[in-house]
Amino acid sequence: MNQLEQLKQYTTIVADTGDFQSIKAFAPRDATTNPSLILKAVQKPEYQPLLSQTVKEHAQLSTADIIDHLLITFGKEILKIIPGRVSTETDARLSFDTQGSIDKGHALIKLYEAAGIDRERVLIKIASTWEGIRAAEVLQKAGIHCNLTLLFSLPQAIACAEAKVQLISPFVGRIYDWYKKSSGQDYTGADDPGVQSVKQIYNYFRKFGYATEVMGASFRNTSQIVELAGCDLLTISPDLLQKLAESEAPVSRKLNLEEAQQSDLKKIDLDETTFRTMLNDDAMATEKLSEGIRQFSADAVKLEKLVDALR
């Protein structure tokens, strides 16, 4: 078996793309999108008609509402291909707006359900700020499942688990990027700080009985992916899925329940003050969270400009 086939024995594979053809090629169970991936997709010739048609059909609506319809259009097409769930992201500019995130989550689910898509097949992606986590807590109670993204630290993960969110997406590659730049050192295998972060979160969740799923995300190489075999889910870009499919190197389970339960991790009592203090004390997590929100917000603005140019 190739590495991708071996990995599927231990972990649910998720495609990290808005490209339908790539999703078809690798047969993942789930798929994730974000503003940057949708922006990238609609600039490809094969997806421009989808953008044009969506704008034309909803020209009377606001730009923000047209983009919501565009996100749902992509989500619907992806759900025709995969058997599982699609993650659709709220506007990153709502990252510090609890009520705004709640309203956007309801709006997106309403559009999916109007299109005949069961809410069980949709995850609403929200940034792992304190405000975003509070929004996800409310949405979860309303039966809307959430994927908390831009997650770089244990306190973010714990707050998500205690809010009973469905799934979190710790960003392996961006953690790696920060430490590589900061130290001038490259990291491989189990020494990779991004890998270590996800392993710590996975072990904490399993040791203390949290039901929240852990989905490693934002990978830079296949070594990071292989080191997290056994994680609940891994969302992987098409180019790295291709590399895994082309390699027959052995893959073994690295994360498991028994080891997690035997870890020496201590329970952390987390309130808002502790959350903000721990996050602030972690320079990498603080910087990467802020940077990620800025990047996704900038891409949302670019997407708005593409929509406005077609109106």
Domain of 63, CATH number, reads: 3.20.20.70
Radius of gyration of the chain (CA): 19
| Phi, psi (rounded to 5 degrees) for 277 | -70, -45
Question: Please, which residues bridge with residue 198 across strands?
Answer: none
Q: Provide the domain limits for residue 164.
A: 3-309
pLDDT truncated to tens, each residue of the chain (311 aa)? Answer: 999 999 999 999 999 999 998 999 999 999 998 878 999 999 999 999 999 999 999 999 999 999 999 999 999 999 999 999 999 999 999 999 999 999 999 999 999 999 999 999 999 999 999 999 999 999 999 999 999 999 999 999 999 999 999 999 999 999 999 999 999 999 999 999 999 999 999 999 999 999 999 999 999 999 999 999 999 999 999 999 999 999 999 999 999 999 999 999 999 999 999 999 999 999 999 999 999 999 999 999 999 999 999 98
Catalytic residue among 80, 104, 110, 125: 125
Long-range Cβ pairs for the range 51-58 (8 Å, 24+): 51/306, 51/307, 51/310, 52/310, 55/307, 55/310, 55/311, 56/310
**Mean pLDDT taken over the chain:** 97
Pairing label, strands 213-216, 167-170 = parallel
> Which DSSP helix (H) or strand (E) runs through 205?
helix 193-207
Distance CA 161, CA 154 (A): 10
Q: What are phi and psi of 78, to 5 degrees?
A: -65, -40
Please indicate whether residue 24 is annotated as part of the active site.
no
Coil, helix or strand for 102?
helix
Share of the chain above pLDDT 90, in %: 98
For helices 35-42 and 283-310, give the axis angle rounded to 10 degrees: 40
Look at the chain and report how many structural domains it folds into.
1
**Residue among 257, 254, 166 at smallest CA distance from 213:** 166
Residue 34 has what pLDDT?
Answer: 87
Strand partners, 86: 31, 122
d(CA 311, CA 56): 7
Token readout for 142 is 């309303």
CA distance 250 to 15: 21
Residue 178 dihedral angles phi and psi, to the nearest 5° = -65, -45
Q: Is the dihedral of CA 81, 165, 287, 189 positive or negative?
A: negative
Q: Which residue has the tokens 């295998």?
A: 189
Cβ–Cβ under 8 Å, residues 244 and 236:
yes
> Residue 280: how many CB atoms within 10 A of its CB?
11
Q: Specify which residues 233 forms β-bridges with.
A: 12, 215
Give the tokens for residue 4: 């991708």
pLDDT for the residue numbered 309: 96
Q: CB–CB of 24/81 below 8 Å?
A: yes
pLDDT in the model for residue 35: 79
